[in-house]
Structure 1
Amino acid sequence: MALLPSFIRPTRMAKRSARPTGLPPAGDETVLDAPDDRLSPALVAAARGEYAVAAGLLAATRAGAEWENRDRYARRLAAFARSRPEWYEEWRAAAPEDPGALLVGAQLAVDRAWPSPARAELLREVSPHITAAARADDRDPVPWRIALDHARGSRAGHRYFEELWEAAVRRAPHHYGCHVAALRYLAASWHGSHHACLDFADRAAQDAPAGSLVQALPARAAFGYLTDGCGPEVPRARLDAAADRAIGLSGHFPEADPWPAEVRNKLLYVLLRLDRREDARTQLRLIGPYATSFPWERFSDDPLGHFLRLREHLLTAGPRPLPAGLITAPGDPLGEHGGHVRADDH
C-alpha cells in the first residue's frame, strides 16, 4: 500500500490495595509504562547487568515472528540501555552477530542521536547499525521501522522513504510500528496536511484485520490534528469515526491489560477533546492501572501525575468542562484544535 496515491521512562509503581470491582484504581495503584510479564524479567535482569534474559526474549519473538512484540521490546530494551549501557555492551561483545543485539543497537543509536540539534547529521552516521540489523534476519520488519524513523529524522526525500516503506510492508503488511513511522513522516513532511494523514490512516485500517493495532491509526492521526492547531478543518464526523474504530479495537482486549494501554490512553485523550465523556469513562475503566507516557508527556513533565489529575477530574466533575491545562500543552492557548505538538517528535 502506497503512502499516498502517488506516493523510557522507568515504570513508576506504588503499593496496591483492595478496591471494589469495576472502579478505576486508586492513585497509589497506578503504574506508568508497565512492562508485560515477558519484558519485566528481562529488565530486572538487565538492572543486574545480565543480558541473557533479554537475548532469549528477542530470540523467542524472532522465532515466532512476533513482530509487534519484538518492536515493543526492542524499544524498551534500547531505552534501558541508553541509561544503563553496561549490560548491553557486554551482550554485544559476547554475541556481535546476535540479531537481537543488533536490533537493540540500531534502536539505541537512533535514540542517542535524536535529541541533538545536529540530529540529521548524526543520524547519517548510524545507518550501518540499521543495515546490520536488517541483514541479520530478512523477515524482520522492525529494522525497517527503525529505518523509517531514521529517514524522517535525517530529512530523507519522499522517493527514498517510499522505497523503505515498500520494503517494510512486504515483510509485515500490517505492522503497527511501521505505520506509525509512516504517519509521522507524513505529518513532518506535509505539516498541517491532516487530511493526508487521515487518508493514509483510514486506508491502512480498512485493509487491516479487526484485531490489528493498525485499527488505532486513524485515532492517532486525529490526535495529531487535535493537538496541532494548523491546516484546514477536519469534519467532526471524521474524527468521531476514527475514535469509534479505536473503541472497537479496545474492545478486543481484556480490561486492565498492559498490551493495549498506550492505544487506550491516546484514545482517552481524543475522546475528551471530542467531549465524549461517557466513552472516555469507559476507556478509563478499561485502562485500569496502566497509564502510559504517551500522550500525557506532551502536556506535562509528570505524565503519571497528569493522568491522575485528569482521571480524578473526569470521575468527579460531572458535566463541568475540563481545565484547559489538562488537555493542552503548557503555555498553549486552548484554540479550536488545542496546543501544538512537534511533528517530528520521536
Structure 2
Amino acid sequence: MAPLPSFIRCALMNKRSARPARRPETGDEAVLDAPDDRLSPALVAAGRGEYAVAAALLTATRSAAAWENHDRYVRHLAAFARSRPEWFDAWHTAVPQDPGVLLVGTQLAVDRVWSSPARAELLREVSPLITAAARADDRDPVPWRIALDHARGSGAGHRYVEELWEAAVRRAPHHHGCHVAALRYLGTSWHGAHRECLDFADRAAQDAPADSLVQALPARAALGYLTDGCGPEVPRARLDAAADRALALSERLPAADPWPAGIRNELLYVLLRLERWADARTQLALVGPYATSFPWDRFSDDPLGHFLRLREHLLTPGPRPLPAGPAPWSPVPLGGHGGHVRAGDH
C-alpha cells in the first residue's frame, strides 16, 4: 500500500528496453468511450428499458472480484442512466437493495450534482447512499472510490480522507480507480504539489504488479502537472520515467481494445507534451479507434473531433513536431506546464 503523502496530515510545508508492440491498422473509424463486449449487451438492453443484463453483469464482476471492470461498468451504467433513467428506475423499484443498483445509484447521484455551484452542500446528501452501497458488499472497493471522489467534491478534511483511503486499500490494494481518486484529491487539496503527487504515484506503482493499471498512475500524475501551470517545476527525467512505466504497461495489454483505452489516451497526451513523437505514434496505433473523453475534453467541447485532428496530424507524413499556435492538442512550452483545466473536472 502506498501511504498518502505526509502533507495530507498537516499543512503543506514545501511546496525501455521493452519489445515494440505490433502496430494494428487504425483505419479511419473512431469511437468515443466505447463499451466492451460485456458491457454492450447491458447497454442495449437498458436502451429497451430492461435492467436484468446490467444487474447480472455487476453480479458477475463482483463475484469474481474483478474490481477494475466492476468500477468501469458502474461508471458507464451510471452515465447511461443519467440520460436514459427508465431502466434504472425499474431496477431500483424491483430490487432496491441489490448491491449493483445501490452502487450505480450512488455514482449517478454524485454525477448529477458534480457541476452544480452548490456541489459541496448537495454531495452531503449523497453520503447515506455511499454508506448503503459500501454495506451491501464489504469486499467491494468501488463504494470507497466513490467516497474518495465525494470527499474531494465536498471539501472533506484530510483525516477523514486518510480513513477512506485505508478502507479502500484494505479491500483492493492495487485498485486503479481508488488510486486515481486519491491522487486527484491530493492535487485538488494542494494545488501545485505535483512533486508530492508524483511521489505518491511512484510508490504505488512500485508496489503494484507489473500488469496492474496502477503502473500508469505516475503518467496520470505527470498529466496533472502538464495541464496545471502551477507549482514548482518537475524535472524532465521524472516525466520521462513516468511515461516509460506506462508504456511498458501498455505493451502488456491488448492492442486496439476499449479496456485499456483510458490509460492509453492519457499516455498519448503526455508523450505529445514531451515531444516523444515515435512513442506517440506507436501508442496511437495501440489506442486504435478507441478515443476517450478524458483528457481531450480538457481542451475541447468536441473531444472526439479533437482526437481525430490530433491523429491526422501525427499520421501525416512530414516533420513530427506539432505546430505552435492553435494546434490540435493545445500546446504550450513545457516549462509553462500545460493548458486550461476545466474547473470541477470529475
Distance 2:247 2:214 in 1: 13
Q: Which residue of 1 aligns with 2:16?
A: none
> Equivalent pairs: percent with the same residue?
79
Runs of 5+ in structure 2 lacking a partner?
9-21
The amino acid of 1:260's aligned partner reads: P
The amino acid of 1:146's aligned partner reads: I
Q: Which residue of 2 aligns with 1:12?
A: none
Q: Which residue of 2 aligns with 1:280?
A: 280
Deviation at 1:328, TM superposition (A): 2.2
Q: CA RMSD for the aligned pairs? A: 1.6
Q: Which residue of 1 aligns with 2:269?
A: 269
Q: Which residue of 1 aligns with 2:234?
A: 234
Q: CA offsets per residue over residues 182-204 of structure 1, 9 Å max, x none?
A: 00000000001101110100000
Distance 1:304 1:340 in 2: 18
Distance 2:248 2:343 in 1: 27
Moved more, 130-139 or 296-305: 296-305
Task: Work out whether 1:218 is the aligned partner of 2:186.
Answer: no
Deviation at 1:335, TM superposition (A): 6.5
Q: Which residue of 2 aligns with 1:61?
A: 61
Helix, strand or coil for the counterpart of 2:209? coil
Deviation at 1:301, TM superposition (A): 1.1
Distance 1:205 1:287 in 2: 22
Q: Which residue of 2 aligns with 1:18?
A: none
Is the Cα contact below 8 Å between 2:183 and 2:201 reproduced in 1? yes
Helix, strand or coil for the counterpart of 2:259? coil
Distance 2:186 2:153 in 1: 12
Distance 1:248 1:303 in 2: 26
Helix, strand or coil for the counterpart of 2:6? coil
1:15-26 superposed matches below 5 A: 22=23, 24-26=25-27
Q: Which residue of 2 aligns with 1:327?
A: 329
Q: CA offsets per residue over residues 45-101 of structure 1, 9 Å max, x none?
A: 000000000000000011111111110000000000011111101000000110000
Distance 1:185 1:343 in 2: 14
Distance 1:229 1:54 in 2: 41
Equivalent pairs, count: 330
Normalised to the residue count of structure 1, the TM-score between the two structures is 0.92
The amino acid of 1:327's aligned partner reads: W
Normalised to the residue count of structure 2, the TM-score between the two structures is 0.92
Helix, strand or coil for the counterpart of 2:71? helix
The amino acid of 1:276's aligned partner reads: R
Helix, strand or coil for the counterpart of 1:248? helix
Is the Cα contact below 8 Å between 1:227 and 1:328 reproduced in 2? no
Distance 1:267 1:163, change over 3 A: same
Deviation at 1:337, TM superposition (A): 1.2
Distance 1:200 1:342, change over 3 A: farther
Distance 1:23 1:161 in 2: 42
Moved over 6 A (4+): 332-335
Is the Cα contact below 8 Å between 2:274 and 2:334 reproduced in 1? no
Task: Work out whether 1:3 is the aligned partner of 2:26.
Answer: no
Runs of 5+ in structure 1 lacking a partner?
8-20
1:49-198 superposed matches below 5 A: 49-198=49-198
